[in-house]
Chains A and B, each alone.
Chain A
């Protein structure tokens, strides 16, 4: 049972473009929504995170938009760079037990 659905599975963006990755969830017991970035051969690393009482959070070129009523959140990468090429995972923390549940991942490729 996939509680966090992520799309697209893969994304190709030109350098300087905007990368957009979307996630949707059903469980209303989620209370924290982080995004992790994973480079090949490495473990995931926290990129940016948001709580459900905030609609948007921006850190540099990375922005999370959060819609609690629609149970959707998205990651926007502005001015995408080849160094952003990685797999991105959205996640949601279950406040019933503290587990972090990951989306399926999006493989981003930024072409020079």
Chain B
């Protein structure tokens, strides 16, 4: 009965590979997000979708491509992985638009690029 679930929890891969992280929420929320947490624990928003429409697209390399097949799912695909992509990626969701007050985060997906 996990509210926001991400898979995989851990991902170890080589530079240059392509990988995907999947996210699903069962809260009925309209808006979903991807945040990146670096090694110093700094949290930065990457993308946000509202009802499958891209709302926020921060200055993120175009190697990162989000996809939202429906409002309960938001996936993140990363091409040509680089060492600097190593981080914990958090999916989150909220009710209503990006103006919603409460974000519910998943447990994170730790990506390690070797």
Report A's interface with B, CB cutoff 8 A. 32, 34, 38, 41-46, 49, 87, 89, 93, 97-102, 104-105, 107
How far is B40's CA from A34's CA once the two chains are assembled, in angstroms? 20
Q: Any chain A CB within 8 A of the CB of B44?
A: yes
27 pairs from A and B in contact (CB 8 Å cutoff):
A34-B102, A38-B41, A41-B107, A42-B107, A42-B108, A43-B90, A43-B92, A43-B106, A43-B108, A46-B102, A49-B101, A87-B41, A89-B43, A97-B56, A97-B98, A98-B56, A98-B97, A98-B98, A98-B99, A99-B56, A102-B42, A102-B44, A105-B40, A105-B41, A105-B42, A105-B43, A107-B41
Bound-state Cα–Cα, A41 to B88, Å: 10
**Chain B interface (Cβ within 8 Å of chain A)?**
4, 40-45, 48, 55-56, 90, 92, 97-99, 101-108
A41–B43 Cα gap in the complex (Å)?
A: 14
A32 adjacent to B101 (CB under 8 Å): yes
The 8 closest A-B pairs by CB, nearest first: A43-B105, A98-B98, A102-B43, A105-B41, A98-B99, A44-B105, A46-B102, A43-B90
- Complex Cα gap A49–B101 (Å): 9
Closest to B56 in A: A99
How far in angstroms is the closest Cβ of chain A from B54? 13
Q: Is B101 touching A34 in the complex (CB atoms < 8 A)?
A: yes
Give the residues in chain A near B106, CB-CB below 8 Å: 43
